[in-house]
Amino acid sequence: MFRALVLENDGGFRATVKSVDAAQLPEADVTLAVSYATLNYKDGLAITNRGPVVRQWPMVAGIDGAGTVFASSHPDWQVGDLAVHNGWGAGETHWGCLAETARLKGDWLIRLPQALSLRQAMAIGTAGYTAMLCVLALEDHGLKPDAGEVLVTGASGGVGSVAIALLGSLGYSVVAATGRASEETYLKALGASSVLDRAMLASPGKALQKERWAGVVDSVGSHTLANAVAQTRYGGVVTACGLAQGMDFPGSVAPFILRGVKLVGVDSVMAPRARRIAAWSNLASEIKDDMLVKITKEISLAEALAWAPKILAGEVRGRLVVNVKA
């Protein structure tokens, strides 16, 4: 038996932490003793049943996990190996990692970088890994620190917090967009050079606006993304990885055909293994432990139930690490 955060929808939706028989674990070739997981925006949607995240019932929530292999029939994984999991449908179509035990496909896992502990890996989690994918995409498209200001939306959330820390450490001038003015000190401590009220981006705007941003990391979508694109400088790069404001993109082709702006979609769920390894390798070398301490709050498995609606309401600063044994 093991404890897990289980989502059920037979005659009514329920999210509970309870004991589960290991015989119920799904088929896969690696069994992981999970030490830490995380609570992400997608997990919040699933646990509150506010979005069509879960595709099979019952479901164990949790798109992230880090732990120790204790059974494996996969040739790349041996008992005792330390592994990190992100995405691949966990918590959606396959039982996830908000549990003491997870059975996962070995091809989904990557080795824990030597510079990181299991807890640090989950302090980064999918949000931080996604932030790194965005930074890599900006660099792939030619952005350099001397190009100008980089806008990070959803700045006090998980993706935004790590993106600011990464970009700041790499020498970029970062502008953090947030709806919480009280977080200015926190955001500047992470590496932001200035803070912008998110209201300046959240309403409908003109197709072309005054050029400002050399690059953008957007986890918000909707009007925020459209305005960010409209304000991006000639040849600039915008990465889109989230939908906190909405899935719509009420924008125009004008920035693309008149300014050569590049809009790059960033997916963390199905990203190829080589890209994942590159992202985690960069995270291990670039992210500093003192930054992880600043952005992280540890909670228990049971507390994840109460924190899920808060993450959807934008009331969570940084990252929530779930100690599944607590």
pLDDT in tens, 55-65: 999 999 999 99
C-alpha dihedral sign at 64, 69, 72, 75: positive
Indicate if the pLDDT at residue 238 is higher than 90. yes
- Write the Ramachandran bin of 102: left for phi over 0, alpha for psi from -120 to 50, otherwise beta: beta
The answer to whether residues 207 and 254 touch, using CB atoms and an 8 Å cutoff, is yes
pLDDT in tens, 244-288: 999 999 999 999 999 999 999 999 999 999 999 999 999 999 888
Laid out side by side, the sheet with 149-152 consists of 192-197, 173-178, 149-152, 213-218, 232-240, 262-265
When pLDDT is averaged across residues 73-88 and rounded to a whole number, the result is 97
Domains defined along the chain, listed by start = 2-112+294-323 (3.90.180.10), 126-265 (3.40.50.720)
CA-based angle 34:308:218, to the nearest 5? 95
> What is d(CA 63, CA 130) in angstroms, rounded to the nearest whole number?
13
When pLDDT is averaged across residues 300-326 and rounded to a whole number, the result is 93
With CA atoms as reference, report the closest residue to 100 among 63, 58, 66.
Answer: 66
Paired with 9 in beta bridges are: 13
The answer to whether residues 37 and 97 touch, using CB atoms and an 8 Å cutoff, is yes
The answer to whether residues 60 and 6 touch, using CB atoms and an 8 Å cutoff, is yes
When pLDDT is averaged across residues 67-83 and rounded to a whole number, the result is 97
Q: What is the pLDDT of residue 181?
A: 86
pTM: 0.90
